Amino acid sequence: QLQLQESGPGLVKPSETLSLTCTVSGGSISSSSYYWGWIRQPPGKGLEWIGSIYYSGSTYYNPSLKSRVTISVDTSKNQFSLKLSSVTAADTAVYYCARPSDFWSGFKHWGQGTLVTVSS
Amino acid sequence: DIQMTQSPSSLSASVGDRVTITCQASQDISNYLNWYQQKPGKAPKLLIYDASNLETGVPSRFSGSGSGTDFTFTISSLQPEDIATYYCQQYDNLPGMYTFGQGTKLEIK
């Protein structure tokens, strides 16, 4: 059974870089054709897609965040990662990693989410 | 960019009621529209994909319809466990972009 698990610091200072990793188990990132995604949700608010990555390293980003986002993949560790630079309090959110049900489609598999707070 | 307008933002209904949520796209998105259920403190769950297809294991009281710019999500007979926030989501037919609606918080009357 596919499982995704987010990990990383729960507290980041303003202007610094938020870094999260999603570890995939029960399936191989490199042997399956999916765009793996990051989605976030500020407390009490809606969902926002951040970006997605293919095992080859091909990426797509939300234009509203593109200048600050880098998503990378490490197939040897079966992980993909998110970096968001120059964070502010507005970046405080629960961050989810997810996998679509097909190559590029609805997100069927989700991690449990991790809360990242931006505060000094 | 495609904008998704979801309504209502909140809804109160009684057990057994038929509940309908709508989502409108700012341009034609064919059937590239999904519906999610999110319960407090949990990750979203994909219920309906490609506008009208029920995910495996999802109760048949949930359904979706529509194409182009106008979409509808329906719960035919509301159950207590359906209390959640529901989101529509459009996606590009080729890799590019996902956009979520603003969400509809469903409560029991």
DSSP-derived secondary structure for chain B: ---EEEE-SEEEE-TT--EEEEEEESS--TT-EEEEEE-TTS--EEEEETTTEEPTT--TTEEEEEETTEEEEEESS--GGG-EEEEEEEE-SSSS-EEE---EEEEE-
Given a cut of 90, whether residue A80 has pLDDT beyond it is: yes
Q: How do residues B66-105 score in pLDDT, each as one tens digit? A: 999 999 999 999 999 999 999 999 998 888 899 999 999 9
**Nearest chain B Cα distance for residue A59, angstroms:** 9
Q: Closest by alpha carbon to B95, among A63, A98, A54, A29?
A: A54
- Average pLDDT value for residue range A49-55: 96
At residue B32, what is the residue type?
Answer: Y
* H or E stretch covering A83: strand A79-84
Q: How confident is the model at residue A44 (pLDDT cuts 50, 70, 90)?
A: very high
Torsions phi, psi for A52 (to 5 deg): -140, 155
Given a cut of 90, whether residue A2 has pLDDT beyond it is: yes
Q: Bridge-partner residues for B22, per DSSP? A: B7, B72
**Nearest chain B Cα distance for residue A105, angstroms:** 7
CB spacing of B95 vs A37 below 8 angstroms: no
- Half-sphere exposure (CA, 13 Å, Cβ side) for B54? 10
Tell me if chain B has a CB within 8 Å of the CB of A33. Answer: no
Q: How confident is the model at residue A31 (pLDDT cuts 50, 70, 90)?
A: confident
pLDDT score recorded for residue B56: 95
Q: Closest by alpha carbon to B77, among B97, B63, B94?
A: B63
Among residues of chain A, what percentage have pLDDT more than 70? 100
**Dihedral of CA A58/A46/B76/B42: which sign?**
positive
Q: How do residues B8-43 score in pLDDT, each as one tens digit? A: 999 999 999 999 999 999 999 999 999 999 999 999
**A112, closest residue in chain B (CA to CA):** B43
Q: How do residues B75-86 score in pLDDT, each as one tens digit? A: 999 999 999 999
Q: What is the mean pLDDT of chain A?
A: 96
CB A91 within 8 A of CB B38: no
Q: How do residues B47-56 score in pLDDT, each as one tens digit? A: 999 999 999 9
Tell me if chain B has a CB within 8 Å of the CB of A3. Answer: no
Q: How confident is the model at residue B1 (pLDDT cuts 50, 70, 90)?
A: confident
At residue A95, what is the residue type?
Answer: Y
pLDDT score recorded for residue A17: 98
Q: Closest by alpha carbon to B62, among B49, A27, A1?
A: B49
Scanning chain A, the segments in alpha helix (DSSP H) are none
Which of A46, A60, A63 shows the shortest C-beta gap to B95?
Answer: A60
Among residues of chain A, what percentage have pLDDT more than 90? 94
Tell me if chain B has a CB within 8 Å of the CB of A51. Answer: no
pLDDT score recorded for residue A120: 95
Cα(B22)–Cα(B6) distance, rounded to whole angstroms? 6
Given a cut of 80, whether residue A32 has pLDDT beyond it is: no
Q: Closest by alpha carbon to A97, among A78, A79, A113, A117?
A: A113
